[in-house]
Amino acid sequence: MSKKTSNYSELAIKNLNTMDADQPVLPIVLVPEYSGAEEAIGALSAELIKSGKTLSIEELQLIIIVKLKLSTEIVQQNILREALIMITNKTLL
């Protein structure tokens, strides 16, 4: 990952860490250096894990929206199935 890409990832994490329920969600800037949706989401997920942050429902929704916008219809069905499982597990905790 290039330095430019890393800076975008850090900015995305900073925005997620400072999100408030009353604040509007900022538009997402997609970084062209990623080879695809999987790499972009993987990089964001890795940064979140390294930061030790627990994701809120809103943050999960944001990641899911990005995945859906960058995916084909068949992949979207799998993403929605995965999202339903994640949200169900989150609400059961």
pLDDT, tens only, 5-49: 445 555 555 555 555 555 555 555 554 566 666 677 777 777 777
Q: Average pLDDT for residues 41-62, to the nearest whole number? A: 74
Q: Is 45 left (phi over 0), alpha (psi -120 to 50) or beta?
A: alpha
Give the pair of three-digit tokens for residue 46.
């890795």
| CA distance linking residue 57 with residue 55, whole number of Å | 7
Query: pTM of the prediction?
Result: 0.35
